[in-house]
Amino acid sequence: MTDNQRDLEAGIQLDLNGRMTYSGYLRLDQLLTAQQPLSQPPHHDELLFIVQHQVAELWMKLIIHELKLATARLRVDDLDACLKILARVKQVQRQLFEQWAVLETLTPSEYLEFRGVLGESSGFQSLQYRTIEFVLGNKNAQMLKVFECDPPAQAQLREVLEAPGLYDEFLRYLARRGHAVPAARVERDWSQPYQRHDDLLPVFKRIYEERAKFWPEYHMCEQLVDVEESFQLWRFRHMKTVERIIGHRRGTGGSSGVAFLKKALDLEFFPELLDVRTVLGS
Ligand code: HEM
Ligand SMILES: N[C@@H](CC(=O)c1ccccc1NC=O)C(=O)O
């Protein structure tokens, strides 16, 4: 008898009536019935398209959960906790990035065979994606309009729009620690997109040049740069995936498609953290 067979005979729970089970705990009844292709007859590849998006939404759910805690810990000056959380966020972002390889096995001809069923739906309407963009500082009140048809979602997004984002909280933390953060970055209308402030440059220059003295701040700066780079890599790979699947067609959400996605690559979350690189040592 193998060890595994002995284990099975000795202790594995086989009478699961009325007990907590794997599928019960994970609500697999709901999770695994939520893939409902609309093409008729069902197109083989529509399941890939649905699963890819659902997995992305699940990872985004975790990212939001983590970023919420990260900003809350920053508010009470617990930078260590924030750093640990961001390390996890980065790993989730890696998953989201790697995931594109699966969708890239979908060819243009296969996608066009079921694209029609998507109607005017588009990733543009992803509440969780927009929430992450807002928490990271790319605020845009116009995006609320997309959620007019779903008032609770719109209200939730408005709350995120009007609250300080992760970078805002970091700058406020730095101010509390005695760094010379300009007043206009400690208090402002948080619903406005983050705008670069040149007076922050000497603040970060000092942190980088005296890193032994400001190690936690320095570490946080680098974590933020990592998060931003991972986000940009996701945007880039989305754009390249879209380019190879639909070329330069317009998007179902009404945008110009690839041209729109390319423009989004110019967006920056934490501009001064990249600017500081240019002035170090001078
Ligand atoms: C065949 C695959 C895909 C195609 C052809 C595609 C195409 C597009 C296009 C053309 C847009 C611009 C908005 C529009 O006019 O619709 C867009 C936006 C978007 N897509 Fe996709 N997409 C694909 C897969 C995905 C996947 C897997 C995700 C993961 C969640 C995703 C998330 C998004 C998001 C969040 C936006 C909004 C981006 C922004 O506002 O900057 N897309 N997509
Ligand atoms: N915008 C895509 C459609 C699309 O990709 C999509 C449609 C419904 C749900 C999610 C989607 N993914 C990303 O935009 C297109 O123009 O083909």
Q: What is the pTM of this model?
A: 0.96
Ligand 1 center to residue 45 CA distance, Å?
A: 17
246 known member of a binding site: no
Write out pLDDT tens, residues 102-119: 999 999 999 999 999 999
Reply yes or no on whether the pLDDT at 11 is more than 80: no
pLDDT at residue 217, rounded to an integer: 98
126 CA to middle of ligand 1, Å? 9
Per residue in 126-173, pLDDT tens? 999 999 999 999 999 999 999 999 999 999 999 999 999 999 999 999
Q: How far apart are CA 67 and CA 63, in angstroms?
A: 6
Atom of ligand 2 minimally distant from the CA of 253:
1
d(CA 103, CA 106): 6
pLDDT tier at 48 (50, 70, 90 boundaries)? very high
Q: 246 CB less than 6 Å from ligand 2?
A: yes
CA of 124 to the centre of ligand 2 (A): 8
Q: What is the mean pLDDT of residues 84-99?
A: 98
Task: Indicate whether residue 123 lines ligand 2 (CB < 6 A).
Answer: yes
Give how far Cα 179 sits from Cα of 73, 190, 200, 218, 256, Å.
19, 21, 10, 13, 43
What pLDDT is recorded for position 282? 84
Nearest to 37 by CA among 120, 127, 134, 115: 115
Q: What is the ipTM of this complex?
A: 0.98
pLDDT at 39: 98
Average pLDDT score over the chain: 96
In angstroms, rounded to a whole number, what is the distance separating the alpha carbons of residues 247 and 243?
Answer: 4
- Nearest-CA neighbor of 194 among 131, 269, 108, 277? 269
- Is 111 marked as binding a ligand? yes
Q: Are 267 and 137 spatial neighbours (Cβ–Cβ below 8 Å)?
A: no
**Degrees to nearest 5, angle at CA 206 with 200 and 208:** 105
CB 257 within 8 A of CB 251: yes
Helix crossing, 108-115 with 46-75: angle to 10°? 90
Region of residue 112 (phi > 0: left; psi between -120 and 50: alpha; otherwise: beta):
alpha
Four-residue CA torsion sign, 187, 191, 192, 195: positive
Nearest CA to ligand 2 atom 8: 122
Residue 15 has pLDDT above 80, yes or no: no
- Pocket lining for ligand 1, CB < 6 angstroms: 52-53, 56, 103, 111, 122-124, 126, 129, 238, 241-242, 245-246, 251-255, 257, 260-261, 264
Residue located nearest, by CA, to atom 5 of ligand 2 = 122
pLDDT at residue 10 tops 80: no
Which residue's CA is the nearest one to ligand 2's atom 16? Answer: 251
pLDDT digits (tens, 9 = 90+) for 230-272: 999 999 999 999 999 999 999 999 999 999 999 999 999 999 9
CA of 252 to the centre of ligand 2 (A): 6
Q: To test the ligand 2 pocket, which listed residue (122, 146, 234) has its Cβ within 8 A of the most ligand atoms?
A: 122
Tell me what pLDDT residue 16 has.
79
Q: Is 251 in the pocket of ligand 2 (CB under 6 A)?
A: yes
Residue 151 tokens read as 């008032």
Does the beta carbon of 53 lie inside 6 Å of ligand 2?
yes
Q: How confident is the model at residue 224, as a pLDDT?
A: 98
* Beta carbons of 224 and 135 less than 8 angstroms apart: no
Listed in sequence order, the DSSP H helices in the chain are 3-10, 22-25, 28-31, 46-75, 79-98, 100-103, 108-115, 127-135, 151-162, 166-176, 183-186, 201-209, 215-246, 258-263, 271-279
Give the N- to C-terminal CA distance of the chain in Å, as an integer. Answer: 72
pLDDT at 68: 98
Q: Look at residue 2 and give its three-state secondary structure.
A: coil
The model's confidence at residue 5, banded by pLDDT at 50, 70 and 90, is confident
Atom of ligand 2 nearest to the CA of 250: 16
271-275-279 Cα angle (round to 5) = 160
Distance, in Å, from the CA atom of 180 to the CA atom of 178, rounded to the nearest integer, reads 6
